Structure 1
Amino acid sequence: MALTPLRRTLLELLREPNSASRLARSLDVPRQRIGYHLKCLQEAGLIQAVGEVQRRGFAEKLYSTASSALVIDPQILGSAGRSEIEKQDRYASGHLIEAAARMVRDVSRMESAAAEEGSRLLTFTIETEIAFARPADIERYAADLADALHALASKYGRGKAGKRYSVVVGGHPAPAAAEEKNVN
Structure 2
Amino acid sequence: MLDVAVIEDPAAAEVSLDPVRARLLAELAVPGSATMLAAKVGLPRQKVNYHLKTLERYGLVELVEERRKGNVTERVMRATAASYVISPVALAPVQPDPSRAPDQLSARWLLAVASRLVRDVGQLITGAAKARQKVATFAIDGEIRFASAADRAAFARELAEAVTTLVGKYHDEGAAGGRDHRVIVAVHPSITRDPGETGDPGETGATPTATKDATKEQ
Provide TM-score, normalisation by structure 1.
0.60
Name the CA distance, whole Å, in 2 between partners of 1:98 and 1:147: 20
Q: How far apart are residue 40 of structure 1 and its match?
A: 4.2
Pick from 181, 187, 201: which aligns with 1:171? Answer: 187
Higher RCO by CA contacts (8 Å cutoff, separation 6 or greater)? 2
Distance 1:27 1:175, change over 3 A: same
Residue 62 (structure 2) pairs with residue 34 (structure 1): no
Greater percentage in strand: 2
Q: Tell me if the contact between 2:65 and 2:75 (Cα under 8 Å) persists in the aligned partners.
A: yes
Q: 1:6 deviation in Å? A: 1.3
- RMSD over aligned Cα, in angstroms? 4.6
State the partner residue of 2:69. 55
CA contact (8 A) 2:88 2:116 kept: no
Q: Does 1:67 align with 2:81?
A: yes
1:134 is matched with which residue? Answer: 148
Once residues 57 and 183 of structure 2 are traced to their aligned partners in structure 1, the CA distance between those partners, rounded to angstroms, is 29
CA distance in 2, matches of 1:152, 1:144: 12
Question: Could you tell me which residue of structure 1 aligns to residue 135 of structure 2?
Answer: 121
What CA deviation, in whole Å up to 9, does each residue of 1:126-165 have, x standing for no partner? 4555442213332343344345545655661579984332
Give the number of the structure whose residues are more often helix, by fraction.
Answer: 1
Q: Is the Cα contact below 8 Å between 1:96 and 1:170 reproduced in 2?
A: no
Number of residue-to-residue matches in the alignment = 170
Unaligned runs of 5+ in 1: 79-87, 177-184
Sequence identity (%): 32
Note the C-alpha offset of 1:22: 3.9
